[in-house]
Amino acid sequence: MSFYAGFDCSTQALSVVVLDAARRAIVFRDSLAFDEPFLASGDGTVVHASPHTWRRALETMLGRVAAQVDRRSLRAISGAAQQHGSVYCDEAPETLTRDTSPIWMDSSTARECREIEAALGGPAPAARLTGSRGFPRFTAPQIRKFAREQPEAYARTSRIHLVSSFMASLLVGAHAPIDHADASGMMLMDIGSRAWSRAALDATAPQLESKLPALVPSSTVVGTLAPKWQERFGLPPAEIVAWSGDNPSSLVGTGLIHEGQLAMSLGTSDTIFGPMREPRVSAEGIGHLFASPLGEYMGITVFRNGSLARQRVRDAFGMSWEAFSQSLQQTPPGNGGATMLPWFEPEITPEVPTARVHRFGLERAAPAQHVRAIVEAQIMALARHSTWMGVTPDVIHATGGAAANREILQIIADVFATPVNRFEATDSAALGAALRALQADTGREWDDVLEGFVTPVAEAIRPVATSIEVYRGLRALQAARERTALRT
Ligand code: ADP
Ligand code: XUL
């Protein structure tokens, strides 16, 4: 028997999936919610998390895996992690030179973004070089801010990791490399050659190259499980395959191999992504081009106000998710024109530096209409801001916590005029990581690796013709409302 484990160190939890390659079956899955997932400043612009929280959760989860599966069969382990966050380490990965890590929700580096972009010739040349213009959560502007504000701590730092490579380092017991896919979210890698870009390094901070791990393809075996974990949990010297970002891993976990396919992950962030054969970046500076863990490229657009914004509306009316779904059932598509721009926290897409919520036609509205307003607004924004990828999918694959909500998926089908596929489980990042471990160990073709693991639930959710019409009109109105709001 050959088992493969995939972790997902996401914003709110550490999850794991263990699969049995021969039986093409999941033999174990578990999730551990973080007590304190992140700490935000009053205005929501500075957002950090503790690497110690991730380390403790990894330890607990390794113990659970060892206790729950036939551990001698564990051949390889990989993982996925929230993207962009940086961990500042001393000689050993366990010793930190900075107690907390800025994470993807941080939007406090507008100044550094402009400075790095300027050094690279402007936003468009920066995007052509690294795959993205300057975005405040990207690692380079975060490193630049740290080097400026705490030069001594920066000088004492020997290694700067992404969350993904930090977690891999803990498993290996030594500094592990960064994979090309997650490195694409740093604004430091030349997306064409997949090497650190001299110009981007110089634009960011002094002596940066010496502090960065090596770059490797996502399918690289970066070491074996450290003796410390083998002794403690009776685990074998399993191969550790490079960890990657949660979105790149979800690309694998939702079975997207070919250009023309799109997936939507409705987690803490809402994201929409798909494979790309040739590199393309958006002329308006929306979204990102990443290296794909499958080898070519992937396009992605990211929204900060995802699940937590939906939760905020749900909680404002004291609802459960069931009541939230009922609200969507009780209200008509289009909501009679009542919408929202749900920027409860600073938004990534479109870039809204300070939180503000705009409500249209909701003054005397019932709670159910507020619920419909936020979901429709979010999904129309996902549609509007992903057109740059130039993909008209036959079907959308939905994943993430909110993909459990059938009513939300119906709105996606109607707004995109496309059927939506669901999966039994919504942990596609962890599943993708386990599948990457399997592929790296066996060298099998991707089609073969995915077979039987990423089969959608038989019944796709189909768009309703009358609703498609309603959203065609509402999307134009909502786009105009967004344009006006961005000018104020
Ligand atoms: P992440 O990986 O970013 O930590 P997940 O993909 O695990 O997040 O999704 C967690 C989110 O899923 C929670 O914040 C919660 O709001 C949302 N969620 C869970 N169940 C439902 C539901 N039935 N309807 C809508 N959202 C849900
Ligand atoms: C991707 C992004 C988020 C995080 C969340 O660019 O910022 O989706 O990866 O986990």
- Ligand 2 atom at minimal distance to the Cα of residue 83: 9
Probe target for ligand 2 pocket from 137, 138, 187, 246, with the most ligand atoms within 8 Å of CB? 246
Probe target for ligand 2 pocket from 135, 142, 186, 271, with the most ligand atoms within 8 Å of CB? 271
What does the pLDDT read at residue 425?
Answer: 85
Q: How many A from CA of 308 to the centre of ligand 1? A: 8
E strand segments, 12-73: 13-20, 25-33, 39-40, 47-49
Taking CA atoms only, the protein residue closest to ligand 1 atom 27 is 402
Contact 10, 4 (CB under 8 A): no
Probe target for ligand 2 pocket from 47, 82, 103, 243, with the most ligand atoms within 8 Å of CB? 82
Both tokens of residue 199? 């110009």
Amino acid in position 46: V
Q: Burial code of 357-379, b = ≥16 C-beta within 10 A, e = fewer? A: ebbbebeebeebbbbbbbbbbbb
Nearest CA among 181, 91, 86 for reference residue 141? 86
Cis peptide before 350 (omega within 30 of 0): yes
Nearest CA among 278, 276, 213 for reference residue 243? 213
Both tokens of residue 125? 């040349």
Contact 337, 474 (CB under 8 A): yes
Q: How many A from CA of 139 to the centre of ligand 1? A: 25
Where in the sequence of the chain do the CATH 3.30.420.40 domains occur? Answer: 3-247, 256-422+458-488
Rounded Cα distance between 8 and 400, Å, is 12
| Binding site membership of 405 for ligand 1 (Cβ less than 6 Å) | yes
Rounded Cα distance between 350 and 41, Å, is 21
Rounded Cα distance between 162 and 198, Å, is 19
Rounded Cα distance between 290 and 292, Å, is 6
| Binding site membership of 307 for ligand 1 (Cβ less than 6 Å) | yes
CATH superfamily of 256-422+458-488: ATPase, nucleotide binding domain (3.30.420.40)
Q: What is the pLDDT along the chain (488 residues), one digit of tens a residue?
A: 999 999 999 999 999 999 999 999 999 999 999 999 999 999 999 999 999 999 999 999 999 999 999 999 999 999 999 999 999 999 999 999 999 999 999 999 999 999 999 999 999 999 999 999 999 999 999 999 999 999 999 999 999 999 999 999 999 999 999 999 999 999 999 999 999 999 999 999 999 999 999 999 999 999 999 999 999 999 999 999 999 999 999 999 999 999 999 999 999 999 999 999 999 999 999 999 999 999 999 999 999 999 999 999 999 999 999 999 999 999 999 999 999 999 999 999 999 999 999 999 999 999 999 999 999 999 999 999 999 999 999 999 999 999 999 999 999 999 999 999 998 888 999 999 999 999 999 999 999 999 999 989 889 999 999 999 999 999 999 999 999 999 98
What does the pLDDT read at residue 28?
Answer: 98
- Ligand 1 atom at minimal distance to the Cα of residue 265: 6
Nearest CA among 248, 264, 256 for reference residue 411? 264
Q: Which ligand is nearest to the CA of 309?
A: 1
- Ligand 2 atom at minimal distance to the Cα of residue 10: 10
| Binding site membership of 158 for ligand 1 (Cβ less than 6 Å) | no
Both tokens of residue 432? 């993708």
Taking CA atoms only, the protein residue closest to ligand 2 atom 8 is 269
Q: How many A from CA of 400 to the centre of ligand 1? A: 6
What residues line ligand 2, using a CB cutoff of 6 Å? 10-11, 82-84, 104, 137, 185, 245-247, 269, 271, 302
What does the pLDDT read at residue 424?
Answer: 84
Probe target for ligand 2 pocket from 12, 106, 247, 265, with the most ligand atoms within 8 Å of CB? 247
Helical H runs in 69-162? 110-119, 123-130, 139-149, 151-156
Query: How do 74-81 and 239-241 pair as beta strands?
Result: parallel
Contact 204, 188 (CB under 8 A): yes
Neighbours of 470 (CB within 10 A): 18
Note the maximum CA span of the chain. Answer: 63
Nearest CA among 443, 328, 463 for reference residue 21? 443
Placement of tokens 């250009």 in the chain? 259
Q: How many A from CA of 10 to the centre of ligand 1? A: 11
Indicate the length of the chain as a whole number: 488
| Binding site membership of 97 for ligand 1 (Cβ less than 6 Å) | no
- Ligand 2 atom at minimal distance to the Cα of residue 81: 10
- Ligand 2 atom at minimal distance to the Cα of residue 288: 6
Q: How many A from CA of 96 to the centre of ligand 1? A: 30
Contact 218, 242 (CB under 8 A): yes
Probe target for ligand 1 pocket from 17, 137, 307, 431, with the most ligand atoms within 8 Å of CB? 307
Please tell me the class of the 3-247 domain.
alpha beta
Contact 429, 253 (CB under 8 A): yes
| Binding site membership of 312 for ligand 1 (Cβ less than 6 Å) | no
Q: How many A from CA of 247 to the centre of ligand 2? A: 7
